[in-house]
């Protein structure tokens, strides 16, 4: 038997294509006769378009169409037929003159060249009838409403007697923590190329969910889903914003239909702020009580987050609090403030990333109040079972994550008192936090063809966000087929392929890999069946159990001399490929187990005592995430999440103008994300963990857990360095020295 490819640090299959610029992203597709579209967006937060002057724009060179609410195609149900998150959202499709937020699409200009379209777009002049806008999050908190639910759970929960538990407490923490609006800003902006052939629509779209785009666009336009094909071979980052189908996708299809030509629509960077989602602002009230030994007696997490007036979307911050620590008396609640803003959406680790800021900082405050080490406090309240669902965890290595992470980081060198460590001027601080993220899985399908040249073609309608899906699925397929990986080609990103779920919720590997494995196992069994039934094969007459495929050879297990190339039986039957399809889906595992990945994050910071500038010297993350399918891509995933957590803590904030609601730093010059100079040393440790319950491969998703807990660990380190507790992120110098 050859060594299993599962877990091996195989280089990225698509690496050369990406570094040479050969990988084709949505905006790279160029079709014969293609036109270019540019969106015009609103400059008021609320009101109506009283009139729109398009005459000058329409006269400009190369302009083919200026589409507004006056001439846009009428859609079924006013374009509101597809409100079904995650794919279907509240869209702005020029069906009426209402304005719901600043930067909302109000027109589309289509021209022969991009420069012509941009120039003409500047000459489209809407005339507005403004209305009073609701923009103040703080003012709206008192009237915040209760959402329908928190993902699949109730918006509010209660267990035990919170008031009694709080009365018993020897130490208490009562504080409010805030996180700002954040915008995804992947390197690749949203882009769509739309083209019609008769009544059939093809979309080249930058998306995390090709099937979701197909369904949403079909419902919105009122056509059969079979008439829509969506293609997306590569995604230049998504982080959640590309998991939904936004207005520009349908607008591109409408513009293409009106002009009778292919149309490319790429969002400009400022248009990424509003029309395609963001992480909402939150205010999170934490109330904790603990006995003198650190045992939690009461825990309460009340969340207020902003949402839009058009669609209710909730940042489920308190879900992490419900399951992470053993506390007999707990309450959680979620409320939303409706604002004239773009619809919020999923952003890497939605709920957990922002919720862990409040929970883990509050625990740190409690540790100081009790004079207990922060790691020891978490161990004292370690949950052996999910305290909310009252189920055992399918696997949990968190205790070992604390131990190994603390040892590798050098936590024992930390002196407990705030402002007690210094290094040649800067104050030194060490902080830590827990990371967790639910293990998700959805139905997925795959198809495999064993070809007469000895190679295999494997397909699934999944997506690769740059995370390594091409590579990992090639490994799984090659391992299941018994072929070298260079003889397996994996294709994705096309609705003509078998259906797969959204690449979100850290579920692509957990969902698609079992389908690929099952399809390949079925194809391999068919191939073995061909050989043993073929009198011309040296394996003729053997049983299926006696034959394996190893490195591309059919081999008799008991007599290795009886062998032949895997392609030979296919050739003997005329070259007809061996084909198999499989669907893999979750069963009732979640009725028996609570499924999560876990980790521990440690941070060391240096803070300038005069200027309040914070530098993250080093970060250590130790994780238990089931079985890794590729150690190299997993390391990259987790490191990327940690870097984003650093940005969450120190830099990222979309700042709305309080008068107009427009994001004033809506570009990458002023919306700051970490660059190389901001990132110190990062150590990623992944423990060997066996979870036989999550899926046949034992793999948990890792796309999002890397960001969870990092911002809290850094905030806690800043407190340790300075003795100043900053509860409102980001940790900018003005807050640190105020």
User: Could you list the active site residues?
Assistant: 704
Label each residue of 338-377 as H, E or C: EECCCCCCCCCCCCHHHHHHHHHHHHHHHHHHHCCCHHHH
> How many CB atoms neighbour CB 677 within 10 A?
7
For helices 631-650 and 710-722, what crossing angle results, to 10°?
A: 50
Q: What crossing angle do the helices spanning 631-650 and 352-370 adopt, rounded to 10°?
A: 70
User: Which sign, positive or negative, has the C-alpha torsion 80, 84, 85, 86?
Assistant: negative
Closest CA to 475 of 625, 640, 697: 697
Quote the Cα angle for 179-181-187, to 5°. 120
Reported residue count of the chain is 738
CA distances for 45 relative to 53, 54, 190, 657, 711, angstroms: 20, 21, 22, 10, 31
Residue pair 538/563 in contact (Cβ under 8 Å)? The answer is: yes
The full DSSP string for 209-263 is -HHHHHHHHHHHHT--GGGEEEE-S--S--TTGGGSB-HHHHHHHHHHHHHTS-E
Here the tokens at position 36 are 């270019």
Q: Residue 213 phi/psi, 5° resolution?
A: -60, -45
Beta-strand ranges (E) seen in 309-443 are 330-339, 385-386, 391-392, 427-438
Q: Are 308 and 380 in contact (CB under 8 A)?
A: no
Decide if 445 contacts 583 (C-beta within 8 A). yes
What whole-number distance in Å separates Cα of residue 657 and Cα of residue 497? 45
Q: Which residues, in sequence order, are bridge partners of residue 535?
A: none
The two structure tokens encoding residue 563: 């062998």
Residue with tokens 């149309």: 263
Query: What's the start-to-end Cα distance of the chain, in Å?
Result: 65
Helix, strand or coil, per DSSP, at residue 32: coil
Residue 675: asked if its preceding bond is cis (omega within 30°), the reply is no
Torsion angle of C-alpha atoms 200, 206, 211, 213, degrees rounded to 10: -60
How far apart, in whole angstroms, are the C-alpha atoms of residue 625 and residue 29? 37
Tokens representing 374 are: 């922060």
The rounded Cα 511 to chain-centroid distance in angstroms is 15
SS3 for 186?
Answer: coil
Decide: 441 and 450 in contact? Cβ < 8 Å: no
Identify whether the C-beta of residue 462 lies closer than 8 Å to the C-beta of residue 470. no
Q: Can the peptide bond before residue 609 be classed as cis, meaning omega within 30 degrees of 0?
A: no
Could you write out the DSSP letters of every residue in 604-626?
EEEE-TTT--EEEEEEEEEEE-B
Contact 446, 498 (CB under 8 A): yes
Tally Cβ neighbours within 10 Å of residue 245.
Answer: 30
Distance CA 647, CA 653 (A): 9
């Amino acid at each position: 038997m050859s060594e299993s490819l599962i877990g091996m640090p195989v280089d990225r299959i698509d690496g050369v294509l990406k570094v040479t610029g050969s990988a084709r992203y949505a905006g790279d597709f160029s079709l014969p006769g293609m036109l270019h579209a540019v969106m015009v967006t609103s400059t008021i937060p609320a009101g109506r378009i009283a009139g729109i002057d398009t005459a000058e724009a329409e006269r400009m060179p190369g302009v083919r169409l200026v589409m507004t609410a006056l001439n846009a195609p009428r859609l079924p149900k006013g374009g509101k037929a597809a409100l079904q998150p995650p794919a279907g959202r509240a869209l702005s499709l020029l069906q009426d003159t209402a304005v719901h937020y600043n930067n909302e699409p109000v027109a589309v200009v289509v021209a022969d060249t991009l420069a012509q379209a941009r120039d003409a777009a500047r000459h489209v002049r809407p005339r507005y009838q403004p209305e009073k806008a609701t923009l103040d999050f703080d003012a709206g908190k008192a009237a915040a409403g209760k959402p329908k639910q928190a993902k699949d759970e109730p918006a509010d929960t209660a267990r035990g007697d919170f008031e009694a538990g709080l009365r018993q407490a020897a130490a208490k923490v009562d504080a409010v923590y805030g996180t700002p609006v954040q915008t995804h800003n992947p390197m690749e902006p949203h882009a769509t190329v739309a083209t019609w052939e008769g009544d059939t629509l093809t979309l080249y779209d930058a998306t995390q969910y090709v099937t979701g785009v197909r369904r949403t666009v079909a419902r919105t336009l009122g056509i059969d889903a079979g008439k829509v094909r969506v293609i997306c071979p590569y995604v230049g980052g998504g982080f959640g914003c590309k998991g939904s189908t936004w207005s520009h996708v349908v607008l591109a299809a409408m513009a293409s239909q009106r002009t009778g030509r292919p149309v490319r629509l790429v969002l400009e960077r400022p248009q990424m702020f509003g029309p395609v989602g963001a992480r909402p602002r939150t205010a999170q009230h934490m109330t904790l009580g603990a006995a003198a030994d650190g045992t939690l007696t009461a825990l309460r997490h009340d969340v207020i987050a902003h949402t839009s007036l058009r669609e209710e979307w909730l940042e489920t911050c308190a879900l992490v609090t419900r399951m992470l620590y053993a506390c007999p008396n707990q309450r959680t609640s979620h409320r939303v403030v409706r604002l004239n803003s773009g619809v919020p959406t999923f952003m890497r680790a939605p709920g957990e990333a922002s919720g862990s800021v409040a929970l883990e900082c509050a625990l740190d405050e409690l540790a100081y109040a009790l004079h207990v080490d922060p790691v020891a406090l978490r161990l004292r309240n370690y949950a052996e079972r999910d305290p909310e669902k009252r189920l055992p965890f399918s696997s949990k290595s968190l205790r070992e994550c604390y131990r190994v992470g603390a040892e590798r980081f050098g936590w024992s060198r930390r002196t407990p008192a705030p402002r007690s460590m210094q290094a040649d001027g800067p104050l030194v601080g060490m902080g830590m936090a827990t990371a967790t993220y639910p293990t998700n899985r959805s139905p997925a399908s795959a198809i495999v063809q064993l070809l007469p040249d000895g190679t295999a073609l494997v397909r699934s309608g999944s997506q690769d966000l740059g995370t390594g899906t091409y590579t990992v699925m090639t490994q799984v397929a090659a391992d299941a087929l018994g072929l070298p990986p260079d003889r397996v080609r994996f294709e994705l990103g096309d609705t003509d392929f078998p259906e797969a779920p959204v690449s979100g919720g850290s579920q692509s590997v957990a969902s698609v890999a079992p389908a690929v494995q099952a399809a390949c196992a079925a194809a391999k069994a068919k191939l073995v069946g061909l050989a043993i039934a073929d009198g011309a094969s040296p394996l003729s007459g053997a049983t299926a159990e006696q034959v394996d495929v190893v490195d591309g050879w059919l081999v008799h297990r008991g007599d290795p001399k009886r062998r032949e190339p895997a392609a030979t039986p296919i050739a003997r039957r005329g070259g007809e490929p061996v084909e198999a399809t499989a669907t893999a889906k979750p069963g009732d595992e979640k009725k028996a187990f609570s499924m999560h990945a876990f980790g521990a994050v440690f941070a060391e910071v240096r803070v300038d005592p005069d200027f309040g500038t914070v530098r993250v010297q080093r970060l250590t993350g130790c994780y238990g995430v089931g079985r890794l399918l590729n150690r190299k891509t997993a390391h990259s995933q987790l490191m990327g999440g940690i870097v984003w957590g650093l940005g969450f803590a120190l830099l990222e904030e979309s700042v709305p103008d309080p008068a107009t609601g427009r994001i004033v730093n809506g570009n990458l010059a002023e919306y700051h994300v970490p660059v190389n100079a901001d990132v110190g040393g990062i150590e990623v440790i992944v423990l060997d963990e066996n979870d036989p319950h999550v899926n046949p491969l034992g793999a948990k998703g890792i796309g999002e857990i890397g960001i969870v807990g990092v911002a809290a660990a850094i905030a806690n380190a800043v407190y340790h360095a300075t003795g100043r507790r900053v509860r409102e992120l980001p940790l900018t110098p003005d807050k640190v020295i105020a």
